[in-house]
Structure 1
């Protein structure tokens, strides 16, 4: 009795065509994940890409691989955009800190105003300043 090699048959049926993606496409996917506009899982499902591949693209993006062929004008635009975003981040960080301080002050005032007056405290509170 001869055994058939079913593995060869399955691999032939399930063989996929190898796709290639442009650096612009990879950059768009990575920037969508990094900015939070879409999750890695959502993009992987939508474009039928392995999440592992998106992780690889993220590593490549961090090392600047997608920007190797960028000319000096485009590079200057990118650097300007980075500076703008850094300034915006600084402003938003300061605003966030100020809002936290205001919230903390407001909370403290509410705690001070909400003290419970009992019959024991009532006589003391009516006595005036000492």
Structure 2
């Protein structure tokens, strides 16, 4: 029976990165380094969890999702602030409706009817 070999963390990381970069096939890696395919799969799973000093793959994807959602939140916050200020501006002049972009003032439908004599 062969004595149990111990592989350094850096070596395992390099082997898995070689596999993930598709430099070699799993069969080629197994033959090249004299390891079993089960051991290679085990190393690959540990790598995915971030056990070799790398960022876990799942965590990196989640970080990107957080960045995307933070960008959307910022945009929606700006939109919300704009709409709040527009509502406050319109609430101050209940009888007149101002075009916020051109500064034009026009009568609302209910005021236009009462000023023209129609009921």
If the TM-score is normalised by the length of the shorter chain, which range does it land in?
0.3 to 0.5
Higher RCO structure, 1 or 2 (CA under 8 Å, sep 6+)? 1
Bigger radius of gyration among the two: 2
TM-score by length of 1: 0.41
